[in-house]
Each structure stands twice: as structure tokens, then as C-alpha cells.
């Protein structure tokens, strides 16, 4: 079996060594421009379009992350880029869910206990005790109840705050109030009412693009908080700036941006109520990812089905 590997800005050696230990019979190679030899599987993150140009026989493309928006954008921009019969398989958790839970728990606790405001006070050398927000009304709303969203919702509920979640299809999760339906529809608006901290864990698709906009912010209680750990394409940046300026939102924690790295002169850097991290809320862990991908390649090679297959029409 022949496997292509592509991971920009990383040393491919450790990945290829790990993959060859996990799949001893496989012929592995790091893809390079000009490489047109056929392969059975591709293991990639943010691949260039050219990688697929001479690979009509790929059985499956493994995405080294949960979100497949970058690969599907290639297909949307130029239909036929992805081999027609190849499965697209994304990472399912593989060590990302606990990282995401820690990140979101930290953001929620920080806002609940008003550390964001104490940081601003410290810069001004001010000593004022601020009453913490009441736990029982500090409702956290998680947008997207998939592999990561459901895990995060449960982790946040363990802090003792009320948690609700929104997904496309109906879900039941112990201890979580669930809503489902269309974004911007009546169930979405009902979900947003009372949400003090809105956490975004949706995939980036044509349906979810720009969902974090003035309309959505306006349905939250005044002075709510935003935590975006999904994709920059979900956020209308100017609407966030305006919402902070007019008090619709109190603060935001952003891990993802429309253009990464965030440009030096981006106004978000200068807004003290915006906390910025460099797309680091949940990193792809090498050993966990290799083990998941290798198990699935072996299963597919045996003719079995695997989980994590992307519905390319739906976009996730
Ligand atoms: P997932 O398992 O596919 O879950 C996606 C969830 O979003 C599902 O609950 C789905 O609803 C819901 N959804 C999708 N489209 C919707 C729509 N139009 N309206 C309402 N709900 C919709 O994905 P995941 O593994 O949890 O990952 C989620 C995203 O997190 C990824 O796509 C990626 O962008 C992001 N991510 C970011 C980082 C980071 O470091 N910042 C790391 C990993 C992942 P159904 O359940 O009804 O289908
Ligand atoms: C990271 O952003 C991922 O989608 O896994």
C-alpha cells in the first residue's frame, strides 16, 4: 500500500517514522511538488491542490485535523479537485477534546470570576472588589454538539454553571439543555436567550459562515461573552468590534482568525477586551493522530467501514 504525506511547516520525519512503525507494510513518502507517482492513501493537512492532480485512484484522504474546511475549499473553488471516489476522513478527538475542554473551562472561569476585569484594573493600579457573577445564571451556550462540542459542554457543566447546546439534528445529553434546528431560526434564537458565554464549536461550512454576527450577538443578554475556538470564518470581525464598543458584548476570547497568523496591524491586538491565542486551543497530537489514522487505513484495506467520514455535500 502506498501512502502520501503532507504537513506544511513541520518536520515530516517524525510523522513518517511513526506512520511506518504503525503500518510496517506500507510504502510512505512525503509528497513534494512534481511527485506524480500513484498512491492509495493521502495523510494531509492543508494540502496544495497540485497534490491531488495526478491521484485519481486514492481510496481515502485523511485530514490531520477535525475541520475539513481547507480541503473542501479546494473542491468548492475548482470542482473535481478531490478524486471522485476517495473518502475524506477527519480526525475524531484523537486527544483534542480534553485540550478544548481545558481551554473553554479556563475562559468560562475567567469571565465568571471577572479575572478579565481584574487584569484591566491592574493595568490602572486600581483596587476594587467585583462581585462574581452568580453561578446559577451564568449560562454557557455551546454552538455545535459534535465530538468536541459535546465533550466541552459536559466539561463546562462540571463547573456548576447551566449549559445548553445547539446542533443541526436533535441530541440528548445528560445535564445539558439541547436545542436544534437552523442557524438564525426560532430554535437558535431561543438557545441564545440567557446565554452569558457563547462558545463556538461549529465546523466552517457555507451554512455556518458569519454566524457570529451582530444579529446573533443581539439575541444574547447584554454584556455577554464570546469564545470562538472553531474557525475565523464564523466571525464577522467588525460586528465584534461594534458589539464591544456598544456593550452588547463584554469581552471575547479568540483562538481562530480569518487570516492566520493575525496581521501585525489588526485592530484586535489593540483591544484589551479581546484575548488572542494562536490557533492553539486543541493541537493535533502526533502519536494519537497516527494511531487513529493507521487503524482506519488498516480497516479500509480489509474492506471495513470507518467512522469520521466527511459528508462532503454537507461540508463536515
Ligand atoms: P463535528 O463532530 O463534525 O461536530 C459538528 C457539530 O456542529 C455537530 O453537532 C453538528 O450538528 C453541528 N453543526 C454543523 N453544521 C451546523 C448547522 N448548520 N447548524 C447547526 N449545527 C451545525 O466536529 P468536531 O470534531 O466537534 O469539530 C468542530 C470544529 O472545531 C471543527 O470543524 C474545527 O473547525 C474546530 N476545531 C478547532 C480547533 C482549534 O484548535 N481551534 C481544533 C479542532 C477543531 P449535527 O450533530 O446535528 O450534525
Ligand atoms: C484544527 O483547527 C482542527 O480542525 O483540527
Residue intervals in the chain for CATH 3.40.50.720: 2-94+284-314, 96-276
The whole-model pTM stands at 0.98
Query: Measured from the CB, is residue 101 less than 6 Å from ligand 1?
Result: no
The pLDDT assigned to 232 comes to 98
**Span 77-98, pLDDT tens digits:** 999 999 999 999 999 999 999 9
List 46, 49, 168, 279, catalytic entry: 279
Q: Catalytic residue at 302?
A: no
**Span 127-141, pLDDT tens digits:** 999 998 999 999 999
Query: Measured from the CB, is residue 316 less than 6 Å from ligand 1?
Result: yes
The DSSP code for 118 is H
List 110, 114, 151, 231, catalytic entry: 231
Class of domain 2-94+284-314: alpha beta
Query: In whole numbers, what is the pLDDT of the chain averaged over residues?
Result: 97
SS3 readout for 241-289: HHHHHCCCEEEEEECCCCCCCCCCCCHHHHCCCEEECCCCCCCCCHHHH
Which CATH number is correct for 96-276, 3.40.640.10, 3.40.50.720, 3.40.190.10, 3.20.20.80? 3.40.50.720
Q: Catalytic residue at 279?
A: yes
Which secondary-structure segment (H or E) carries 98?
helix 96-112
Amino acid at each position: 500500500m502506498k501512502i502520501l504525506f503532507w504537513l506544511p511547516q513541520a518536520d515530516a520525519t517524525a510523522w513518517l517514522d511513526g506512520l511506518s512503525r504503525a503500518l510496517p507494510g506500507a510504502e510512505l513518502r512525503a509528497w513534494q511538488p512534481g511527485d506524480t507517482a500513484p498512491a492509495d492513501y493521502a495523510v494531509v493537512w492543508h494540502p496544495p491542490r497540485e497534490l491531488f492532480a495526478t491521484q485519481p485512484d486514492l481510496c481515502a484522504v485523511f485530514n490531520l485535523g477535525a475541520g475539513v474546511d481547507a480541503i473542501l475549499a479546494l473542491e468548492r473553488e475548482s470542482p473535481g479537485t478531490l478524486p471522485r471516489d476517495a473518502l475524506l476522513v477527519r480526525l475524531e478527538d484523537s486527544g483534542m477534546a480534553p485540550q478544548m475542554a481545558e481551554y473553554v473551562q479556563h475562559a468560562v472561569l475567567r469571565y465568571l470570576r471577572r479575572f478579565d476585569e481584574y487584569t484591566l484594573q491592574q493595568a490602572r493600579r486600581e483596587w476594587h472588589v467585583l462581585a462574581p457573577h452568580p453561578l446559577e445564571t451564568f449560562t454557557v451556550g455551546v454552538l455545535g454538539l459534535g465530538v468536541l462540542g459535546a465533550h466541552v459542554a459536559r466539561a463546562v457543566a462540571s463547573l456548576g454553571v447551566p449549559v445548553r447546546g445547539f446542533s443541526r439534528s436533535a441530541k440528548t445529553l445528560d445535564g445539558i439543555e439541547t436545542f436544534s434546528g437552523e442557524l438564525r431560526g426560532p430554535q437558535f434564537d431561543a438557545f441564545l436567550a440567557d446565554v452569558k458565554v457563547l462558545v463556538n464549536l461549529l465546523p466552517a461550512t457555507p451554512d455556518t459562515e458569519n454566524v457570529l454576527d451582530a444579529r446573533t450577538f443581539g439575541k444574547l443578554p447584554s454584556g455577554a461573552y464570546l469564545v470562538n475556538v472553531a474557525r475565523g470564518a464564523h466571525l464577522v470581525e467588525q460586528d465584534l468590534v461594534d458589539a464591544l464598543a456598544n456593550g452588547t458584548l463584554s469581552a471575547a476570547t479568540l483562538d481562530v482568525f480569518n487570516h492566520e497568523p493575525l496581521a501585525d496591524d489588526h485592530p484586535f491586538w489593540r483591544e484589551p477586551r479581546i484575548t488572542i491565542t494562536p490557533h492553539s486551543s486543541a493541537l493535533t497530537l502526533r502519536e494519537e493522530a497516527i494511531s487513529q489514522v493507521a487503524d482506519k487505513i488498516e480497516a479500509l484495506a480489509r474492506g471495513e467501514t470507518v467512522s469520521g467520514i466527511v459528508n462532503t455535500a454537507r461540508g463536515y
